C-alpha cells in the first residue's frame, strides 16, 4: 500500500484506521512474546534497534519506535480527513501524504484545502504549530488552511497562534 492515499469517503478512512489497529495488534503480540524471553537492557535494545514493529499500513517490518510515531500521526491524519469530509465534502477527494512524503499532509483534490497534522505530548513541542502554520501561510492559493493535532491532555488556549495566524484553523482532534 502506498503512503499517498486518496480518500473519498469516511468509510474509506475507517478502513485505513482498521488496518492501523491490526498492525498495532500484531506488534503487541510480537512484543509480548519477546518480553517473556528478554530482560532489561536487551529488551530496550530490541525495541530501539531492531524491526520488531510493523509498518502501520504496509505489511513490512519496522522499528517499533518508528511504528509508534507513525501510528499516531496517521491516526490524526485519518481523523482530520474525516473532519474535512464532513465539513467540506464538495472538495473531496482528499489526499493524505503519510510518512515522509513531501507536500502537505492533507490536500483537497482541487487544492483549495491544505492541512498539516501531528501528534505530540504538547502542541507547542518543538515549535510544531508555529512551523506548520508558517508552511501553510506560504501557500497563497489555498482557500482554507488547517493544522490538526493530537495530544492526550486537553490543551488550553491557542489564542497566541490564532492571533498570529488568523487565516489558519488550528484544531485539537481526538483519535
Number of domains the chain contains: 1
At 115 the pLDDT is: 98
**Is the per-residue pLDDT at 154 higher than 80?**
no
Tell me the pLDDT tens digit for each residue of 73-99. 999 999 999 999 999 999 999 999 997
DSSP structural state of residue 151: -
- CA atoms of 175 and 172, how far apart (whole Å): 10
The whole domain housing 13 covers 4-172
How much is the pTM?
A: 0.91
CA geometry: angle 76, 82, 88, nearest 5 deg: 125
Mean pLDDT on 101-117: 94
Which of 67, 68, 130, 135 is closest to 106 using CA atoms? 135
Beta strands in 31-124 (DSSP E): 53-54, 61-62, 94-97, 106-108, 113-119
Amino acid at each position: 500500500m502506498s503512503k499517498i492515499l486518496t480518500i473519498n469517503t469516511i468509510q474509506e478512512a475507517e478502513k485505513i484506521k482498521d488496518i492501523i489497529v491490526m498492525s498495532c495488534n500484531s506488534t503487541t503480540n510480537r512484543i509480548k512474546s519477546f518480553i517473556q524471553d528478554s530482560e532489561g537492557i536487551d529488551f530496550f535494545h530490541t525495541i530501539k534497534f531492531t524491526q520488531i514493529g510493523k509498518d502501520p499500513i504496509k505489511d513490512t517490518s519496522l522499528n517499533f519506535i518508528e511504528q509508534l510515531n507513525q501510528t499516531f500521526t496517521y491516526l490524526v491524519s485519518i481523523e482530520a480527513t474525516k473532519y474535512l469530509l464532513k465539513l467540506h465534502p464538495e472538495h473531496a477527494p482528499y489526499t493524505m501524504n503519510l510518512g515522509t512524503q513531501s507536500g502537505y499532509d492533507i490536500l483537497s483534490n482541487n487544492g483549495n484545502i491544505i492541512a498539516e497534522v501531528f501528534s505530540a505530548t504538547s502542541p507547542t513541542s518543538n515549535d510544531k504549530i508555529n512551523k506548520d502554520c508558517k508552511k501553510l501561510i506560504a501557500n497563497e492559493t489555498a482557500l482554507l488552511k488547517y493544522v490538526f493535532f493530537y495530544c492526550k491532555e486537553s490543551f488550553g488556549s491557542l489564542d497566541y497562534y490564532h492571533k498570529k495566524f488568523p487565516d489558519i484553523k488550528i484544531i485539537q482532534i481526538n483519535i
